[in-house]
Amino acid sequence: MSEATFLVGRGLADITGEAAECGMLGYGKADQQTEGIHTRQRSRAFVFAHGAQGARVLLIVNDLPLVFDSVHQEVLRRLGARYGTAYTTTNVMVTATHTHCAPGGYAHHLLYNSNTKGFRPKTFGALVDGILEAVARAHADLAPSHLVLSHGALHHASVNRSLAAFARNPEADRAFFPDAIDPQTTLLRIEREGTVVGAVNWFATHNTSMTNRNRLISADNKGYAGYHWEHDVAGVDYLSDLDAPPAFIGAFAQTNAGDMSPNLNLRPGSGPTEDEFENTRRIGLRQYEAAAALAAGEGRTIAGPIDARAVYVDMARVRVGPPFTADGRVHATSGPAGGAASFAGAGVDGPAFAGFREGANPWWDWPSRLAYRWSPRLRDSQAPKGIVLPGGALNQQLLPLVAQRVPVQLLRIGPLYLIGIPGEVTITAGLRLRRAVAQIVEADVHDVLVAGYSNGYIHYVTTPEEYDEQRYEGASTLFGRWELPALVQAAAGLATAMREGIVVDPGPGTADLSHRQRSRRDRTLPDSAPPGHSFGAVVVAPRPRYRAGERVSVVFVGTHPNNDLHRGGTYLEVQRQAGEEWHRVHDDGDWETRFVWKRVGRGASEVTVSWDIPPDAVAGQYRIRYQGDARDGDGALHPFTGETPSFAVAGAEPVAG
């Protein structure tokens, strides 16, 4: 193979937030509060550079529900303090996988902290610290590498949850997606000396295999895909010293997944099975298998170049001109407004609030019809939406409810173009963005991807035709029917500048609201243990003997897990005896374990640890350890450890000690 063209760096870090009594972000359910961990959240960072002093881009894929301007601003601020001008608004893409089962409370806009009782500094700190840790590891890992780009097709991992809206699009658009899904799976693999050491995969499906009934932190199907490739296939140990980069890092990123659901039977938690955990595993495994097949194939070796452009757009005040409007006239966006159907939720993935439905909501729609009679500009922008949440007005009166000024970005890595959009883009809306950029830069449309959920959040992006249907996605297109044309116009401007070699000034960024946050008061109650028990005491012990395939479930006297988030560590270990020593075989980031917390009374806690013994478990003696931190009356923390009695597992033949 020829001399490597690029320097590439890879980094991986834990970004798991508060595991107890923190509202989860995504489904909008007030009662969906964290009660433990199934799988941890990870940040995966990749630096792509042309030589030590050449152009570079930084891609950060995070197991997060959403990326807000709060995170984007703080990450860029700290990157600037550490690396100067190497990483900026223009060349850094911070994106989310969009899991709906992870802690919230890290936004600076009021709407997104509504079920967390305000801003959560601990969760915000954990994810920002983790992202910066992943970037630092990627920066230190820069080494000569080959990049190979591949495309494939993946079916049976997504379904269109909004067919009525999709059907409104012109035949020329619908023909591109004959099954009403975007089956394209794209892999950018990183090779060193003929070995694949990293990969980024893009595929459009919502990260909602886990339902709004779940209370355990989960990275969902895309998180499982990354975990499986790294841990199960490549043997990555997440608790080892990650400052020495692991053998492989694999990220499963989002693209235009706005109307794509993993719930193949068109019901929450249904498809391919009726078990949400098994669905998460299977949909994740299908994404992994498609990516691994591409990694084993030929692909195209990339020679360059690397480039980046970005611009901030005030989405409430965009004048959209021909050729971006279908009628050839000039139109304008207006302030953010949530429609009645947006409160219904996407029924396929989980209904939201009673009293609302997708489509027409006569009781809620009639006031807007009156308003449209008096304001032709509002009618042109927002009709037929039945406005329930006038975000533009509320932004002026309260702590800003939602973001208006957001970045639009275009990254280039050889023939691959990534359009960074701070929202949830439907497949047809994504196609229009992709076609516009591809035409300008003279690229194949398959090499141009929408990188949704990047650098901020404005909710959904639908085509004007889909908007008219006013299903959940259209009602959640906050800036109205001209929102997509406005974004296409911005992306086309960046593509033209990139083609012509013109430097783009991003302009003023989103307002910094960090000083205006009402932080939730941190829990200060001291932990207490039941009379006659100490912290870590075993309340429910394991049976003496188990077989592979069974579940071990034990209960400890616990403490509040938010005392110490154990970021980069674990609350539990499953250990196997080898001679006189005990070795960790599983922790709380593993698929086979569950860490469940429950409050008992005022200051007491109970912790249940379960372990699903895998079919290939080695026969031998095992025990389960719980690691907690007790807060005393003065607020000081005292680490402790609890251990179960040992128990036997009958499985495969034991290995030598």
Any idea which residues carry the catalytic annotation?
A: 261
Peptide bond into 144 cis (omega under 30): no
The residue among 479, 296, 496 whose CA lies nearest residue 403 is 479
Q: Which of 447, 448, 442 is nearest to 425 (CA)?
A: 448
169, 466 Cβ separation under 8 angstroms: yes
Contacts of 100 (CB under 8 A, 6+ apart): 24, 25, 26, 27, 65, 207, 208, 210, 212, 220, 349, 350
What SS3 state is found at 292? helix
Helix (H, G, I), strand (E, B) or coil at 606: strand
For the CA atoms of 571, 622, 226, 595, the dihedral, rounded to the nearest 10 degrees, stands at: -30
Q: How far is CA 130 from the centre of its chain?
A: 14
Rounded Cα gap, residues 653 and 657, in angstroms: 12
59 backbone dihedrals φ, ψ, rounded to 5°: -110, 125
- State the Cα–Cα distance between residues 544 and 542, nearest whole angstrom: 6
CB 354 within 8 A of CB 379: no
Cα angle vertex 462, ends 460, 466, to 5°?
Answer: 135
My answer on whether omega of the bond before 384 falls inside 30° of 0, hence cis, is yes
Rounded CA gap, 594 and 280, in Å?
15
